[in-house]
Every structure is written in structure tokens, then in C-alpha cells.
Amino acid sequence: MQDKKSPLLEMTLKTKTEFWNDSCSIPDLKYALGYGAVGATTNPVIVGEVLKKDMDSYRDQIKEMVSSMKKATEDEIGWALNESMAKDGAKLLEDAYEKSNGKNGYISIQTNTKYFKNEEKIIEQASHFNTLTKNIMVKMPVTEAGIIAIEECTYRGITVNATVSFSVPQAIAVAEAIERGLNRREKEGKSMLYPVCTIMIGRVDDWLKNAVQEEKLVIDPDALEFAGVYVFKNAYKIYKEKKYRTRLLAAAYRNHHHWSEFIGGDVSLTIPSKFIRMFNASDIECIERMDNPMDERKLSQLRKIKDFNRAFESDGMTVPEFNTFGATRRTLMQFLNGYDDMIGIIRGFMV
């Protein structure tokens, strides 16, 4: 049953802005679909959280996998479960996929974080994931190896969701790699794809708050809540100017600015279920704000932070520097730890 007023549904009906459910949880995805969601996503952290929250729905399935996959490792069973969860979500999104002629209705599945330095491994796993269902989107990290994989996977017809991305330079490198892949496809008369590039805006804020402490800076705390917003808006401006065929996707929510400031933009927003419910219950007006200018006072505060400038400026980082950017390193470590937690759950059924 829909809330008496849904700002998110109003946004999807009145603007170009779309949103996804930032989880593969079936109950959460069904709720989001009722308010206009057109996508969903997974990653090792999300899968582990879904298992902890709703183990009753997966206990028998995991036991059956352990029993039937007699020689499988815990990793193999973990990935089989991940794929199964992605396919279940994809079924719920088939209607959105068909109605949009393949533009929307995808669920993302993430390549193994351990492969972030190995483009061959990323491409191999992405190629396998691409066989799971027609409306699968494959997440791969915006690392030096990831950029190579993104171009090649695009050429091969794999719909890419570039992730572990926090900056304008990363977003540009992704868009350029996808353009190269799409151009190679066009020369061979192959079909169009609908890739996205994620900017993890909340993790930008998280990292810069840490950087402020390390640099012993005094910054207006209100400005720090807009760091990711401004990085995203600058990337959006450049994407529009260059007419990139990649769609930007905002992720990693921390506050309502990460939604409300992007209303009206031709973008996607992948929103955690708790925030979907919070935004629906809020009195925040559904008005277009994407093209609102950045607050110069806040921007001047943020420019005191070295890593904000690296993230905000189009030439702030080179591709080889992506791997060592603070937000990248921190997120890779969190994803790796999240993967270990997920495998630990599977191990509990095997030993």
C-alpha cells in the first residue's frame, strides 16, 4: 500500500530522475517497485546484510547447495548464492526492462573485489555473469585494471555498472572507456547498451571528513555534507557537455541532499531501503534542484581539502592514481571484509 504522498514516486512521474533499490532483498525491492524503482543492486556487503536480516528465506537454499555441490568450496557456494539472489531480483525487474526496451530494469552483480588489479579476471567473471539473465548489469571497480575491463566488457556486449568510484576523473575515465567500447561495437553493427557510472557520494563525504582530521583543518561541517553532491554535480555537467552515453548513478546515501539535490537530473539514484522509506515519509518538496548552482561559500571551504580538489577537478587524478585514492582504498577494504563476512556465513553451514 502506497503512502498518501510519495516524493519518490512523484519524482519518477514528473522528472527524468530514476531510482533503484540499493539491495537485492526481495521484500525491499517489492516495496521500492511500488514507488517507481527501475533497478536494484548487490555487492558482497549487501548480500551479507540480506542474509543476516532474512536468513529464514535462504537457510534451506544454502543447505541444499552445500548438500548438492559436494566438492564445492565455500567461495563457490557463496558465488552460486550471489548469482541466485541476483536472478531472483532480475525476475521482479523484467517488466521495467521490457517497458523501457532494455534501458532500465537491471539488477547489478559485482565482480570479485579481489580482482581489482587484474583486468583479465574481471572480464572473465563479467562474461560469465552476463549469461545469467538478459537484464543483468555487471559492476566492476574504477581502478586502473577496471578501466581496461570496462572498455573490453562494453565491446563484448556486457552492460557495465562502474563502481568503487568517487571522483570526476574516475567518472570521465569510465565514460571515455565506454565510448571506446561502444564505438568498436558500432563499427561492427552491434546493438546499443545502457551502462552507468556510479559515484559513491556518501563515501566521498566519509573520506573527506577523515582527510580533514588528518590534515588538521577546520572546515564548516555543513560544507562537508555537500562534498559528494558537488563532485556529482560537476561530473554531471561535464557528462552533458561531452554528450557521453553513460548515465551517472549516485550511491552510498548519508543524508537527504544525496537525493533532493539531484532531483530533475537525467540520472539514476540507488537508494537503500531505509532511506527510501525515510524520503517517502518526509515533507521535502519534489522540486528540481540538479541545475541549482553550487554554494560558493561551501565550495571555498571544501577547496581547502587536497583530496576534494583531486575528486572535484576533471584532471585531479590520473588513471594510475585511482588505486591509491583514500576513498578507493577504504572501500576496497570494506568490500573485501564484507566478502569475508559473507563467506563466513556460508562456512557455518559447511563445517
Q: Give the DSSP letter of residue 57.
A: G
What is the average pLDDT across 141-164? 98
Cα–Cα distance measured from residue 178 to residue 197, given in angstroms and rounded to the nearest whole number: 10
pLDDT by residue (tens digit) across 198-251?
999 999 999 999 999 999 999 999 999 999 999 999 999 999 999 999 999 999
Confidence of residue 3 (pLDDT cuts 50, 70, 90): very low
The fraction of the chain above a pLDDT of 90, given in percent, is 96
Strand partners, 140: 162
3-state secondary structure of 88: helix
Arithmetic mean of pLDDT over the chain: 96
What is the average pLDDT across 13-31? 96
For residue 321, the model assigns a pLDDT of 98
C-alpha cell at 65: 547447495
pLDDT by residue (tens digit) across 83-123?
999 999 999 999 999 999 999 999 999 999 999 999 999 99
298 and 278 Cβ atoms separated by less than 8 Å: no
C-alpha cell at 223: 560544507
Confidence of residue 43 (pLDDT cuts 50, 70, 90): confident
The fraction of the chain above a pLDDT of 70, given in percent, is 99
What is the average pLDDT across 283-291? 95
What is the average pLDDT across 301-312? 98
* Contacts (Cβ under 8 Å, ≥6 apart) of 10: 286
pLDDT by residue (tens digit) across 255-271?
999 999 999 999 999 99
Q: How many helices (H) and strands (E) does the chain have?
A: 17, 8
1: pLDDT strictly greater than 70? no
C-alpha cell at 11: 519524482
C-alpha cell at 85: 539472489
C-alpha cell at 96: 521495467
* Contacts (Cβ under 8 Å, ≥6 apart) of 161: 41, 106, 108, 137, 138, 139, 140, 195, 196, 197, 198, 249
For residue 156, the model assigns a pLDDT of 98
For residue 38, the model assigns a pLDDT of 98
C-alpha cell at 183: 564505438
Per-residue burial over 307-337, b if 16 or more Cβ lie within 10 Å, else e, is bbebbbeeebbebeebbebbbbeebbeebbe
Its pTM stands at 0.96
For residue 4, the model assigns a pLDDT of 55
44: pLDDT strictly greater than 90? no
One DSSP character per residue, 188-214 reads TTPPP---EEEEEHHHHHHHHHHHHHH
92 and 29 Cβ atoms separated by less than 8 Å: yes
For residue 42, the model assigns a pLDDT of 87
What is the average pLDDT across 296-314? 98
For residue 5, the model assigns a pLDDT of 79
192: pLDDT strictly greater than 60? yes
